[in-house]
Amino acid sequence: TARADAELDKLIANPANWAAQAGDYANHRYSELKQVHAGNAKNLQVAWTVSTGVLRGHEGSPLVFGDTMYIHSPFPNKVIALNLKDQTFKWKYEPKQDNNVVPVMCCDTVSRGLAYGDGKILLQQADTTLVALDAHTGKVVWSVKNGDPKIGETNTNAPHVFKDKVITGISGGEFGVRGRLIAYDLKTGKTVWTAFSTGPDEDMLFDPATTMTWTDGKMAPVGKDSSLKTWKGDQWKLGGGTTWGWYSYDPKLNLVYYGSGNPGTWNPSQRPGDNKWSMTLFARDLDTGKARWVYQMTPHDEWDYDGVNELVLADLNIKGKKVPSVVHMDRNGYAYTLQRETGELLVAEKFDPTINWASKIDMKSGRPVVNAKYSPATTGPDVNVKGICPSALGTKDQQPMSYDRKSGIFLVPTNHVCMDYEPFQVEYTAGQPYVGATLAMYPTPKSHGGMGNFIAWDAAAGKILWSKPERFSVWSGALATAGDIVFYGTLEGYLKAVSIKDGKELWKFKTPSGIIGNVFTYLFEGKQYVGVYSGIGGWAGIGMAAGLENSSDGLGAVGGYRDLAKYTDLGGTLFIFALPSN
């Protein structure tokens, strides 16, 4: 029988389509299309818009191929198949979900979108139901459960289709959930493998002798019980390391790449040890799930610097040699470049010079050199540690970067936010927050005054090429194109086109709500379109989304974002732009 994925390979290879969340398997978010370019982007105008009917944070992007666009919404996770010819709806899927999942979602009711493969549209519902819908009819082909909302397990991630498998993760790091990545058979929905982030070797699909990690300047086997040894008692069972971000895939190496999130609880004094393998980059064999290599970025996390941000596959020129690399801009403010076949650590540099929790990454041990002044574990519980940079939002959160294949430059949306962090003792109760810290976040003092930047990054040298300050964090995913431009959205609601060469702004358009979606592009009937969701939310916009603008407690307390109320309000509209026809 034909390989189910051969069709997806073909769809992805054709730049007319946007057939996967990142446009490809490598997380490039790059398009070869160049009808719209640096010279004419200033003429872009609205072609059409459509409402999803949901007024909450809209992350991710639609999928487009043939004459159909597949649109998704935040909870209640609608799917709309739209006919590109006349923008009528071919079908809608509106799942029935228990409203009780909403209070156990940490950071708004977002969904990062759909996947396609083998004639099916894959949707990961918030209530941990993964459904495969017939792409032509919207009828459910199969449906499986991958978690339990009663113990705080939910989903916000997009499923990803790699070859004959659907890969999905889990959210709930703030509820003592035990993180894992699951591979299902694309045809049937049967579980093929489950790989936990913490616990015994067999649960993590680790081979103590051949699963490798960076040790003393080289790769070495992780050894037996590499996770268990780094937790007190059975704390690993509530250990977090959730997997709510983006995944990538190298078909040649047959490796899947992703990162794990924060250890639970946020109070570091309560969980001594490195807490492996939370805050870790993973490379796993797609067929078996076996871990090839791992790299823990933030051992014994004290700041909620989840390591789930995307890993971007790129062949970089490093010291005169072409190296198969993977690039990851972490919440902790360091950008990592690793050899993607072996896991060797090549580069680890700050991508915001103002971060202070660690002075550098020691390249031999691969560990951060932590600054005791900003270490809540050193100060102990019930002490408010002030002025930690970056904040728990990280220098970059889920908002994915783009890799310009033409210039080799990474275009990165960032946060420029610091925090005060006070840990306290917390008891675990199933389904209740297991946070154990209060925090306040505010713009990085004495810098450009904004809460974000949009930067160009050289991942081989570990250097910022240019930086464009923004009033608020840039919470939208970027799109670079062969037209030498990069697009991104802002929390005030602007979609912007910027020159990749120097960061000069070429065009902007104010949409009705803040943008936290990812920009995408496609060709239909010979014409290039550029699109993005407008609908504020996510962690940075949660105050707006939950109507908590004035709240100053709990996870809604993202202080400096209160000013957003002067610029925008809730929304749920997909915007499609094009050049005028003449």
- Residue numbers annotated as active site: 304
Stretch that binds ligand PQQ, among 10-18, 83-91, 170-178, 427-435 (CB under 6 A): 170-178
We find the least distance from the C-beta atom of residue 305 to ligand PQQ, in angstroms, to be 9
User: CA 558 to CA 473: how far, in whole Å?
Assistant: 11
For tokens 């073909």, the residue is: 10
Burial letters for 222-250: b for 16+ Cβ neighbours within 10 Å, e otherwise? Answer: beeebbbebbeeebbebbbbbbbbbbbbb
User: CA 222 to CA 211: how far, in whole Å?
Assistant: 6
Give 524 or 567: the residue with its C-beta nearer to ligand PQQ.
Answer: 567
| Inter-residue contact 219 to 213 (CB < 8 Å) | yes
| Inter-residue contact 136 to 129 (CB < 8 Å) | no
Site string for ligand PQQ, 311-340 (x = CB under 6 A): ------------------------------
User: CA 298 to CA 291: how far, in whole Å?
Assistant: 19
Those residues with Cβ within 8 angstroms of residue 287's Cβ, 6 or more apart along the chain or in another chain: 192, 254
User: CA 349 to CA 232: how far, in whole Å?
Assistant: 31
We find the least distance from the C-beta atom of residue 2 to ligand PQQ, in angstroms, to be 35
Exactly one of 62, 76, 113, 173 binds ligand PQQ (CB under 6 A); that residue is 173
SS3 505: strand
Left, alpha or beta for 554 (phi > 0: left; psi -120 to 50: alpha)?
A: left
What is the size of the binding site for ligand PQQ (CB under 6 A)? Answer: 21
> Does the protein bind ligand PQQ through residue 306 (CB under 6 A)?
yes
> Does the protein bind ligand PQQ through residue 106 (CB under 6 A)?
yes
Positions 208 through 267 that interact with ligand PQQ (CB under 6 A): 242, 244, 261-262
- Please report which residue ranges of 323-388 form alpha helices under DSSP H: 376-379
Stretch that binds ligand PQQ, among 227-235, 393-401, 463-471, 560-568 (CB under 6 A): 393-401
We find the least distance from the C-beta atom of residue 327 to ligand PQQ, in angstroms, to be 20
| Inter-residue contact 342 to 433 (CB < 8 Å) | no
C-alpha distances out from residue 201 to 167, 181, 183, 224, Å: 21, 15, 18, 7
User: CA 69 to CA 48: how far, in whole Å?
Assistant: 13
We find the least distance from the C-beta atom of residue 242 to ligand PQQ, in angstroms, to be 4
> Does the protein bind ligand PQQ through residue 400 (CB under 6 A)?
no
Q: Which of 388, 397, 394 is nearest to 356 (CA)?
A: 388
| Inter-residue contact 210 to 221 (CB < 8 Å) | yes
| Inter-residue contact 390 to 368 (CB < 8 Å) | no
Positions 539 through 578 that interact with ligand PQQ (CB under 6 A): 539
We find the least distance from the C-beta atom of residue 105 to ligand PQQ, in angstroms, to be 7
Exactly one of 16, 63, 81, 107 binds ligand PQQ (CB under 6 A); that residue is 107
Give 68 or 73: the residue with its C-beta nearer to ligand PQQ.
Answer: 73
> Does the protein bind ligand PQQ through residue 171 (CB under 6 A)?
yes
Give 483 or 514: the residue with its C-beta nearer to ligand PQQ.
Answer: 514
| Residue 154 DSSP symbol | B
Stretch that binds ligand PQQ, among 105-113, 274-282, 383-391, 554-562 (CB under 6 A): 105-113
Give 5 or 153: the residue with its C-beta nearer to ligand PQQ.
Answer: 153
We find the least distance from the C-beta atom of residue 174 to ligand PQQ, in angstroms, to be 6
We find the least distance from the C-beta atom of residue 13 to ligand PQQ, in angstroms, to be 30
Q: Which residue is nearest to ligand PQQ (CB)?
A: 173
We find the least distance from the C-beta atom of residue 501 to ligand PQQ, in angstroms, to be 30
> Does the protein bind ligand PQQ through residue 156 (CB under 6 A)?
yes
User: CA 236 to CA 505: how far, in whole Å?
Assistant: 47
| Inter-residue contact 323 to 315 (CB < 8 Å) | yes
SS3 212: strand
Give 291 or 540: the residue with its C-beta nearer to ligand PQQ.
Answer: 540
We find the least distance from the C-beta atom of residue 367 to ligand PQQ, in angstroms, to be 22
Positions 483 through 542 that interact with ligand PQQ (CB under 6 A): 538-539
Which neighbouring-strand residues pair with 156?
none
Stretch that binds ligand PQQ, among 79-87, 102-110, 206-214, 483-491 (CB under 6 A): 102-110
Exactly one of 172, 239, 343, 423 binds ligand PQQ (CB under 6 A); that residue is 172
> Does the protein bind ligand PQQ through residue 434 (CB under 6 A)?
no
Exactly one of 110, 329, 347, 500 binds ligand PQQ (CB under 6 A); that residue is 110
We find the least distance from the C-beta atom of residue 269 to ligand PQQ, in angstroms, to be 19
What are φ and ψ of residue 173, in 5° steps?
-60, -20
Exactly one of 330, 397, 458, 470 binds ligand PQQ (CB under 6 A); that residue is 397
DSSP 435-452: --EEEEEEEPTTSSS-SE
Give 110 or 167: the residue with its C-beta nearer to ligand PQQ.
Answer: 110
User: CA 368 to CA 347: how far, in whole Å?
Assistant: 13
Exactly one of 19, 44, 47, 59 binds ligand PQQ (CB under 6 A); that residue is 59
C-alpha distances out from residue 166 to 121, 346, 565, Å: 11, 30, 39
Q: Which of 255, 319, 251 is nearest to 283 (CA)?
A: 255
We find the least distance from the C-beta atom of residue 542 to ligand PQQ, in angstroms, to be 7
User: CA 499 to CA 384: how far, in whole Å?
Assistant: 42
Give 117 or 477: the residue with its C-beta nearer to ligand PQQ.
Answer: 477
User: CA 315 to CA 277: how far, in whole Å?
Assistant: 27
Stretch that binds ligand PQQ, among 43-51, 214-222, 227-235, 391-399 (CB under 6 A): 391-399
User: CA 470 to CA 414: how far, in whole Å?
Assistant: 9
User: CA 526 to CA 518: how far, in whole Å?
Assistant: 23
Q: Using CB under 6 A as the criterion, which residues of the chain lie in contact with ligand PQQ when the complex forms? A: 59, 106-108, 110, 156, 171-174, 242, 244, 261-262, 304, 306, 393, 397-398, 538-539
